[in-house]
């Protein structure tokens, strides 16, 4: 009896070893997904996938590609809401027209303006050959007395190059905002219709603002401000038949005019004058 029990136990052990030996092979591994391929959760849409994780077909034909805007169609920036905009603001996409404000300059044309040094400066065209222009810069005190120079300050301007710079500044800088602006000339009833640029700079706080007018053929200078500094404020302009005069310019009036424009055009001027009722009395010492 004992021999039969030992025999049966040996047979059971052999059967168990045979079963475990057959099931000990390594199971096949599942393929690992590529890390670059996006995996969408079930029931949610991922990049390029629809509801339930179903893959959507990507556009393959040219009809599925987004349409590019035609030249001049970024209208909110290039053409502001002003009925005169297309007549006053040159279209940077139009290569048939000169954009430079020097384009109509001829010998004898001049412009006079106040500078950030609270002085007067004049630019006068002395020579023009094709697109090449030479002009003389002269500097004066508010009393009209010219500052002495060892030699004339002759500068050069290339209309074609300036035209390219002005045009590219609009095409490449998406932050330029353009407006039509009417500028009342100093001590005159003449109104200059200007192109006004405003470029905000939230990183540094040095916003830029400029005005040009084709009525001023010698460069078009009307107004230029950057950050806390106004660089140019136009006073008057003319041609060879109407040279600049000085008898109507008074230093005190020019200085007051400067302070009125030492700000951005939409900025409110804070008066520095004392109130009519006077300053409040200081509190008594304790």
pLDDT tens digits, residue range 191-239?
999 999 999 988 887 899 999 999 999 999 999 999 999 999 999 999 9
Please check whether residue 219 lies inside any domain of the structure.
Answer: yes
Strand residue runs (E) in 19-159: 110-115, 120-129, 132-140, 153-158
- pLDDT at 278 (0 to 100): 55
Q: Identify whether 45 is part of a domain.
A: no
Instruction: Flag whether 278 is in a domain.
Output: no
Kindly state whether residue 51 falls inside one of the protein's structural domains. no
pLDDT digits (tens, 9 = 90+) for 147-169: 988 899 999 999 999 999 999 99
| pLDDT for res 202 | 80
Going 89 to 233 to 220 to 163, the CA torsion angle's sign is negative
Query: 134 lies in a domain?
Result: yes
Structural domain of residue 151, as residue ranges? Answer: 75-260
Domain assignment of residue 59, yes or no: no
Low-confidence ranges of the chain (pLDDT < 50): 18-19, 22-76, 286
CA distance 196 to 198: 7
Q: Where are the beta strands (DSSP E) in the chain?
A: 110-115, 120-129, 132-140, 153-158, 177-184, 191-199, 208-212, 221-226, 229-238
Please report whether residue 234 resides in a domain.
yes
Report the half-sphere exposure of 26 (CA within 13 A, side-chain side): 3
**Does 143 reside within a domain?**
yes
For tokens 């412009």, the residue is 111
CB 196 within 8 A of CB 209: yes
**Predicted local distance difference test score (pLDDT) of residue 203:** 83
Domain total of the chain:
1
């Amino acid at each position: 009896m004992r021999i039969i029990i030992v025999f049966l136990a040996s047979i059971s052990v052999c059967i168990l070893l045979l079963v475990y030996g057959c099931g000990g092979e390594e199971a096949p591994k599942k393929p690992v997904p590529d890390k670059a391929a996006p995996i969408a959760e079930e029931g949610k849409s991922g990049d390029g996938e629809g509801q339930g994780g179903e893959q959507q077909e990507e556009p393959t034909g040219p009809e599925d590609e987004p349409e590019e805007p035609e030249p001049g169609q970024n209208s909110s920036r290039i053409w502001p809401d002003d009925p005169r905009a297309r007549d006053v603001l040159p279209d940077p996409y139009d290569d048939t027209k000169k954009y430079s404000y020097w384009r109509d300059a001829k010998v004898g044309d001049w412009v006079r303006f106040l500078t950030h040094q609270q002085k007067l400066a004049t630019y006068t065209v002395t020579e023009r050959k094709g697109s090449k222009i030479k002009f003389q810069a002269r500097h004066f005190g508010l009393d009209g007395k010219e500052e002495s120079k060892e030699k004339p300050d002759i500068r050069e301007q290339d209309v074609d190059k300036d035209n390219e710079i002005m045009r590219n500044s609009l095409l490449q800088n998406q932050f330029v905002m353009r407006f039509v602006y009417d500028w009342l000339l100093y001590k005159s009833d003449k109104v200059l219709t200007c192109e006004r640029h405003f470029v905000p700079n939230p990183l540094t706080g040095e916003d830029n603002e400029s005005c040009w007018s084709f009525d001023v053929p010698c460069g078009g200078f009307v107004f230029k401000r950057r950050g806390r500094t106004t660089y140019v404020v136009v006073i008057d302009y003319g041609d060879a038949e109407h040279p600049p005069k000085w008898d109507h310019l008074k230093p005190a009036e020019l200085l007051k005019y400067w302070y009125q424009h030492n700000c951005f055009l939409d900025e409110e001027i804070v008066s520095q004058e004392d109130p009519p009722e006077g300053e409040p009395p200081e509190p008594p010492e304790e």
